[in-house]
Amino acid sequence: MNFQPEQLYDIAKTVSVNAYAPYSKFKVGAALLTEDGRVYSGVNIENSSYGATICAERTAFVKAISEGEKHFTAIAVYAEGEEAIPCGICRQFMYEFAPELMIITGKTREEINVRSLNELLPVGFSLKGEDR
């Protein structure tokens, strides 16, 4: 896998300012790397109806998939002052498309952690769709 975790982390940090988080004030950015080196960004977007809120990770995946991408290698997730670990819904969502995905997180650029999705979701659920 050819990626620089710091580069993806920087992109996630840059886009996090675009998050819409008027309720939690917890702005999250994500940068998703495809197998061919393209990067898709995403932010969390909250809603008055909390169930309609979407996390940054899923936003990045939805953007990439809607553009025809299906093969992903890594995602960086950033939130100011915190290590933003993907939530359970995001872990399962990402597993659908990239069970071998690498997850880049960290409180700061100097404290980056790289984990596999399998570490965060050891027994992901899949119906083994044919489109992957």
For the purposes of burial, counting CB atoms within 10 Å of the CB of 129, is it exposed (0-12), middle (13-18) or buried (19 or more)? exposed
Torsion sign across C-alpha atoms 6, 84, 86, 47:
negative
Respond yes or no: is residue 57 known to be catalytic.
yes
Which of 35, 57, 111, 119 is catalytic? The answer is: 57
Distance, CA of 7 to CA of 76 (rounded, Å): 9
Buried b (16+ CB within 10 A) or exposed e, 4-40: ebeebbbbbbebbeebebeeeeebbbbbbbbeeeebb
Q: Which residues are catalytic?
A: 57
